């Protein structure tokens, strides 16, 4: 394994941090309160090239290798305090665009990827149902072939970007009799299809600038040419997608943790109590040391995934390990940052309490911490 | 070595199929024992036991559908690595 960064990669990292600080952090506290997605931040991110990090240049992306993309996402998390916007960008990339790139036909890639990289289309994934969360493949949504279309019926919920998205990877059951590996299919569904409607917008505790909703399919006819991969490949596509999701989403959280550490160290150096900086007290400095240790371990986990993906290897186990460790580390780091900042950490206007609300979501989406432990235990042979 | 790998893979599969006599040409996905995580478990076992690296493109169901199919995949991978 080789995680040594080139000068070009480090310059890219610096440029993303500078861009995010200057262009993406306006009115975050206010927009968090009102639950407002930043269309302007989205457009600026597209112009900067963030919406097509690993998408090849011929489809309008940047063509970065997965390890470089990891560093870019870490930089985005460090520089951008609008964690909801970062979440929408990651969801667009790793839950939608990458699946089209990996499994789509040439026509599908040409149709969807360039406008997605330009930010003209916002992508998302449609998997979870009211009665199937962690056990995703107990889903009830059906897709029945009828002539030149598949007819979809069912309800999907807790969907990131449902209120703002334009194109979704939708998973549905195409066979009642076949095993889970062959009974589901994936479809590229555009928002304008008759029979697709948003039936609920969710309000939530954290990541409030990333809108979430529920979609209902009622005799929704999806053209056959919007089938992603072959019929029955849905499970395999999902298994591939979940590697990208669990691995790459959380690179941004590593960046957030590093930002919180730097902010906390600076505060601990400046804040005086009893004539001394609070960082001189071991009960504070120990917290900062533990924050640093978690960040270093988290980096090794995500960089290994980036390296594995760059080599064309699977990273399923590694992605679950990273997701579990980083999401829980992020919560602990946010709690420590609040504690170090005292009352200021708890006040909305300082932004640190928002980091905790945003961090908690990471232990839930893309498989809860409990599910990650179940997955890892299974892969250990238990 | 080929026969040893076949036996180890068969034994791995049988551990997930209690009281079932799996044939080498039998479709494992049709047995009813295969869970959603099983393919990943199988791939990790093959990589660790046979010291080969499988890529995502190797993971289509037809390559893993039976003991015979898995051995054919393994033969191709070993031949490529020794070429």
Reported ipTM: the value is: 0.82
Number of domains in chain A: 3
Model pLDDT, residue B1:
73
Based on the domain organization, do A356 and A262 belong to the same domain?
yes
Mutate to test the interface with B, among A175, A181, A243, A382 (most CBs of B within 10 A): A181
Q: What percent of chain A has pLDDT over 90?
A: 92
Based on the domain organization, do A239 and A368 belong to the same domain?
yes
Interchain proximity A181–B61, CB inside 8 Å: yes
Interchain proximity B40–A240, CB inside 8 Å: no
- For the range A133-141, what are the long-range contacts, defined as Cβ-Cβ under 8 Å and sequence gap of 24 or more? A133/A158, A134/A367, A134/A368, A134/A370, A134/A371, A136/A171, A136/A238, A137/A180, A137/A184, A137/A235, A137/A238, A137/B36, A139/A171, A139/A172, A139/A173, A139/A184, A140/A173, A141/A170, A141/A171, A141/A172, A141/A173, A141/A217
Model pLDDT, residue A287:
98
- Residue A254 pLDDT > 80: yes
- Which residue reads 């049709």 in tokens? B30
Nearest CA in chain B to A375: B37
- Chain A hits for B29, CB-CB cut-off 8 Å, are 178-179, 181-182
Considering only CB atoms, A182 lies closest to which of B29, B41, B53, namely B29
Q: What is the CATH number of the domain that holds A34?
A: 1.10.540.10
- Chain B hits for A178, CB-CB cut-off 8 Å, are 29
d(CA A180, CA B36): 6
Shortest alpha-carbon distance between residue A233 and chain B (Å): 9
Number of domains in chain B: 1
For chain A, the average pLDDT equals: 96
Considering only CB atoms, A235 lies closest to which of B30, B36, B57, namely B36
- Residue A114 pLDDT > 80: yes
Model pLDDT, residue B2:
79
Q: Does B11 touch chain A (CB under 8 A)?
A: no
Based on the domain organization, do A364 and A242 belong to the same domain?
yes
Q: Does B13 touch chain A (CB under 8 A)?
A: no
Interchain proximity A378–B44, CB inside 8 Å: no
Nearest CA in chain A to B27: A179
A349 is catalytic: no
**Residue A132 — very low, low, confident or very high, per pLDDT cuts 50/70/90?**
confident
Model pLDDT, residue A91:
97
Considering only CB atoms, B59 lies closest to which of A236, A378, A379, namely A236
Q: What is the CATH number of the domain that holds A288?
A: 1.20.140.10
- Residue A178 pLDDT > 90: no
pTM metric for this prediction: 0.94
Helix H, strand E, coil C: the string for chain A is CCCCCCHHHHHHHHHHHHHHHHHCCCCHHHHHHHCCCCHHHHHHHHHHCHHHCCCCHHHCCCCCCHHHHHHHHHHHHHHCCCHHHHHHHHHHHHHHHHHHHHHCCHHHHHHHHHHHHCCCCCEEEECCECCECCCHHHCCCEEEEECCEEEEEEEEEEEECCCCCCEEEEEEECCCCCCCCCCEEEEEEECCCCCEEEEEEECCCCCCCCCEEEEEEEEEEEEHHHEECCCCCHHHHHHHHHHHHHHHHHHHHHHHHHHHHHHHHHHHHHCEECCEEHHHCHHHHHHHHHHHHHHHHHHHHHHHHHHHHHCCECCHHHHHHHHHHHHHHHHHHHHHHHHHHCHHHHCHHHCHHHHHHHHHHCCCCCCCHHHHHHHHHHHCCC
Q: B18-64: per-residue pLDDT in tens? A: 889 999 999 998 888 888 788 889 999 999 999 998 887 788 888 99
Based on the domain organization, do A244 and A173 belong to the same domain?
no
Based on the domain organization, do A227 and A251 belong to the same domain?
no
Q: What is the mean pLDDT of residues A74-99?
A: 98
Based on the domain organization, do A116 and A130 belong to the same domain?
no
- Chain B hits for A240, CB-CB cut-off 8 Å, are 56
Q: A255-308: per-residue pLDDT in tens? A: 999 999 999 999 999 999 999 999 999 999 999 999 999 999 999 999 999 999
Based on the domain organization, do A361 and A248 belong to the same domain?
yes
Q: What is the CATH number of the domain that holds B50?
A: 1.10.1200.10
Is A1 within a domain?
no
Q: Does B48 touch chain A (CB under 8 A)?
A: no
Nearest CA in chain A to B28: A179
Considering only CB atoms, A179 lies closest to which of B30, B41, B57, namely B30
d(CA A302, CA A330): 14
- Residue A89 pLDDT > 80: yes
Last residue of a domain, one of A87, A121, A155: A121
Nearest CA in chain A to B12: A381
- Residue A36 pLDDT > 90: yes
Q: A300-339: per-residue pLDDT in tens? A: 999 999 999 998 888 999 999 999 999 999 999 999 999 9
Pick from A252, A251, A243: nearest CA to A315: A243
Shortest alpha-carbon distance between residue A51 and chain B (Å): 24
Model pLDDT, residue A150:
98
- Between the CA of residue A47 and those of A55, A69, A72, A177, A188, what are the distances in Å? 15, 17, 15, 47, 25
**Residue A179 — very low, low, confident or very high, per pLDDT cuts 50/70/90?**
confident
Residues of A with CB under 8 A from a CB of B: 102, 137, 178-182, 235-236, 239-240, 312-314, 316-317, 375, 378-379, 381
Interchain proximity B29–A313, CB inside 8 Å: no
The domain in which residue A177 lies consists of 124-232
Q: A140-149: per-residue pLDDT in tens? A: 999 999 999 9
Is A268 within a domain?
yes
The domain in which residue B23 lies consists of 2-82
Name the active-site residue from A74, A245, A258, A353.
A245
**Residue A151 — very low, low, confident or very high, per pLDDT cuts 50/70/90?**
very high
Is A288 within a domain?
yes
Mutate to test the interface with A, among B56, B58, B77 (most CBs of A within 10 A): B56
Model pLDDT, residue A169:
98
Based on the domain organization, do A204 and A303 belong to the same domain?
no
- Chain A hits for B60, CB-CB cut-off 8 Å, are 236
């Amino acid at each position: 394994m080789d995680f040594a960064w080139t000068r070009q990669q480090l310059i890219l990292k610096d440029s993303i941090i500078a861009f995010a600080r200057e262009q993406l952090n306006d009115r975050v506290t206010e927009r968090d309160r009102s639950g407002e997605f930043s269309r302007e931040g989205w457009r600026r991110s597209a112009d900067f090239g963030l919406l097509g990090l690993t998408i090849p240049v011929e489809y309008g992306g940047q063509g970065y290798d997965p390890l470089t993309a990891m560093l870019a996402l870490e930089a985005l998390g460090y520089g951008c305090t609008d964690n909801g916007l970062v979440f929408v960008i990651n969801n667009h990339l790793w839950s939608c665009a990458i699946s089209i790139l990996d499994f789509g036909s040439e026509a599908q890639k040409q149709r969807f990827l360039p406008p997605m990289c330009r930010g003209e289309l916002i992508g998302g994934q449609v998997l979870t149902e009211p009665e199937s969360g962690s056990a995703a493949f107990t889903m009830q949504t059906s897709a029945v072939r009828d002539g030149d279309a598949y007819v979809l019926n069912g309800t999907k919920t807790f969907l990131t970007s449902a209120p703002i998205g334009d194109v979704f990877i939708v998973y549905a059951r195409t066979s009642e009799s076949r095993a889970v590996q062959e009974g589901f299919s994936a479809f590229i569904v555009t928002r304008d299809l008759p029979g697709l409607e948003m039936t609920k917008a969710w309000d939530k505790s954290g990541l409030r600038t990333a809108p979430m909703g529920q979609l209902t399919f009622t005799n929704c006819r999806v053209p056959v040419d919007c089938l992603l991969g072959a019929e029955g490949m849905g499970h395999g596509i999902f298994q591939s997608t979940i590697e990208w999701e669990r691995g790459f989403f959380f690179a941004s959280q590593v960046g957030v943790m590093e930002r919180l550490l730097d902010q906390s160290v600076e505060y601990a150096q400046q804040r005086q109590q009893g004539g001394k900086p609070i960082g001189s007290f071991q009960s504070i400095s120990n917290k900062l040391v533990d924050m640093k240790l978690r960040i270093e371990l988290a980096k090794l986990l995500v960089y290994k995934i980036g390296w594995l993906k760059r080599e064309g290897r699977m990273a399923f186990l590694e992605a679950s390990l990273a997701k579990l460790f980083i999401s829980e580390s992020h919560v602990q780091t946010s709690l420590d940052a609040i504690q170090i900042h005292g009352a200021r950490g708890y006040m909305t206007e300082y932004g640190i309490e928002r980091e905790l609300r945003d961090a908690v979501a990471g232990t839930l989406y893309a498989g809860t911490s409990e599910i990650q432990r179940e997955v890892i235990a299974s892969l250990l042979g238990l | 070595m080929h026969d040893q790998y076949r036996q180890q893979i068969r034994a791995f599969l049988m551990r997930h199929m209690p009281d079932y006599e799996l044939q080498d040409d039998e479709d494992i996905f049709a047995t009813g024992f295969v869970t959603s995580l099983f393919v990943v478990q199988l791939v990790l076992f093959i990589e660790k036991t046979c010291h080969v690296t499988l890529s995502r493109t190797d993971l289509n169901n037809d390559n893993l559908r039976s003991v015979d199919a898995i051995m054919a995949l393994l033969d191709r991978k070993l031949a490529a690595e020794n070429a």
